Structure 1
Amino acid sequence: MSGFEGKVAVVTGSSGIGLGAALHFARHGATVYVCGIDPALNETARAEGQGFAFSVAPVDVADADQVRDWIDGIAAEAGGIDILVNAAAIQTYGDTESTDVAHWNRSIAINLTSCYLTSHFAYPHMKKRGGGSIVHVSSVQGHSNQFGVLAYATTKGGIHAFTRAQAVDAARDGIRVNSISPGSIRTPLLEFAAREIVGEGNDIEETIAGFGKAHPIGRVGTVEETSELIGFLCSDKAGFCTGADYRIDGALTAHIGV
């Protein structure tokens, strides 16, 4: 993996896949700016990033004014932006009947609209640098679905379409845009999903192991593995990669479960 010395990386999501990607960039020489909305997770991220050029800010990625101020502040301080990774997300449950309007709108705002907002405000700064790379974190649920994930799956499928459209437009400015679709990755979001199944206070390890067994590879993935893929897509080695979605799912979506 080529280094990211001299690069400025902006990442949404201060835990899980977002934090993993941010630390990957930092360890390879980038100046990294991360945002999250949970104070405890932000503090943990700051501790993890000690010793690197690593900053964590409290930002609601669904709030256009907060996103604009954060992005513009980074560009002013760091001199520009080279990399943008959108990993902030919430896991929501419900079908057509049980998903209320507030639940739907919040899911769209955090999981999908945030990708537009960060891209919209970062784009001019990346263009001035002569190009860059954007990676949106989607999900296998954008390809095929469990029961009862209507809003969440819609946002992840929307990221795929957004990525394609954005990549076509951005190519002329030297900005590459891709998405990744993870299967079950051991993150706080996956642990939340497991707790929804077993109930708060109960052991979730058996449930997470069960998630892993659903993947032909026989286990859940790791944040380190998603970080390597994101790092590759943002590196010069991926210079001809744009407009695509990359599944990192242990063959989950390749498998016919019969």
Structure 2
Amino acid sequence: MGRLDGKVALITGGARGMGKSHARHFAAEGARVVVGDVLDAKGAAVAGEVGGVYVHQDVTSEADWTAAVGATLDAYGKIDVLINNAGILRHGRIAEMDPAEFRRVLDVNLVGCWLGVHFVAPAMIAAGGGSIVNVSSIEGFAGAAGLSAYSASKFGIRGITRSAAQELGPSGIRVNSVHPGGVMTSMAIAAAGQLTDVDPGAFLKALPIARFAEPIEISRLVAFLASDESSYTTGAEFLADGGLLAGPGY
């Protein structure tokens, strides 16, 4: 028996990184998975691997959200879980960053999350409930030089999560956010390479758990929040950061 047996989950940004890990882990826990992404070949490969369905999905597109929800309902008849995982990161100091890049990050990370709740909620309400997990970041708690756009979007996800939890709780829908720290994905590694004023060794040494996370470690937390085991949990924020925000290690 898996903790997600019988659940149907739509996972955005599921073609690689944490989203790919979520899809694999959800399938292993018994869920039927729909993978949404703009990377069609990679997304289709993940869906094929887990025995699920792939949909082309730009999370900033209302038409793509409508299509993704429709494809999920056509394939499985319901949506129990939404994982708002899709996200991008752009590095640039505020005085130097192109405003168009700032807006693009907000569109994908923040507006995309809002659209997910907006378009999936009616199907969940009709089914009598569900669970939405919004993937934020530790940058949603503490900003960093060069990451103003990313941090603004991830702070905003906290607000969407709390508002949605208030609005949807009476309909049996729980909404929570997950805030990973350093995770071994291609996006995180590329971002770390751009932060030239950060000493990776000193950063790791300061962590109570002195290493980066593997994607599966985040997926296990996301699966718990998607499952009925977290049935009394909503509007909450879950850090998975190796203790980074616990305070200085001295």
- Which structure 1 segments of 5+ residues have no match? 199-206
How much has 1:64 moved relative to structure 2? 1.2
State the superposition RMSD in angstroms. 2.0
Residue of structure 2 in register with 1:20 after alignment: 21
- Aligned positions, number: 247
User: Partner amino acid for 1:137?
Assistant: V
Residue of structure 2 in register with 1:122 after alignment: 120
- Residue 58, structure 1, aligned to residue 56, structure 2: yes
CA distance 1:43–1:130, shift in 2 (3 Å) = closer
1:165 to 160, 163, 170: 163
Q: Is the 8 A contact 2:23 2:33 kept in 1?
A: yes
Q: Determine the C-alpha separation between the residues in 2 that align with 1:224 and 1:208.
A: 22
CA distance 1:40–1:191, shift in 2 (3 Å) = farther
Q: Is the 8 A contact 2:176 2:235 kept in 1?
A: yes
Residue of structure 2 in register with 1:242 after alignment: 234
Q: Is the 8 A contact 2:55 2:71 kept in 1?
A: no
Deviates more, 1:33-42 or 1:12-21: 33-42
Residue of structure 1 in register with 2:214 after alignment: 222
Q: Determine the C-alpha separation between the residues in 1 that align with 2:110 and 2:137.
A: 12
Q: Determine the C-alpha separation between the residues in 1 that align with 2:27 and 2:150.
A: 30
User: Partner amino acid for 2:116?
Assistant: T
TM-score, length-scaled by structure 2: 0.92
Deviates more, 1:91-100 or 1:112-121: 91-100
Residue of structure 2 in register with 1:36 after alignment: 37
CA distance 1:214–1:15, shift in 2 (3 Å) = farther
Q: Determine the C-alpha separation between the residues in 2 that align with 1:210 and 1:194.
A: 13
Residue of structure 1 in register with 2:7 after alignment: 7
How much has 1:215 moved relative to structure 2? 2.2
Residue of structure 1 in register with 2:68 after alignment: 70
After superposition, the C-alpha distances for 1:110-156 in whole angstroms (9 at most, x for unaligned) are: 10111111111111111111100000000000101221111100000
User: Partner amino acid for 2:164?
Assistant: Q
Deviates more, 1:68-77 or 1:165-174: 68-77
Q: Determine the C-alpha separation between the residues in 1 that align with 2:212 and 2:203.
A: 7
How much has 1:240 moved relative to structure 2? 0.6
User: Partner amino acid for 2:33?
Assistant: V
CA distance 1:120–1:211, shift in 2 (3 Å) = same
- Residue 155, structure 1, aligned to residue 153, structure 2: yes
Q: Determine the C-alpha separation between the residues in 2 that align with 1:187 and 1:41.
A: 15
After superposition, the C-alpha distances for 1:143-176 in whole angstroms (9 at most, x for unaligned) are: 0122111110000000011100100111000000
- Residue 255, structure 1, aligned to residue 247, structure 2: yes
Q: Is the 8 A contact 1:30 1:53 kept in 2?
A: no
How much has 1:17 moved relative to structure 2? 1.4
User: Partner amino acid for 2:177?
Assistant: S
Taking only the aligned residue pairs, the percentage that are identical comes to 37
Residue of structure 2 in register with 1:201 after alignment: none
Q: Is the 8 A contact 2:208 2:249 kept in 1?
A: no
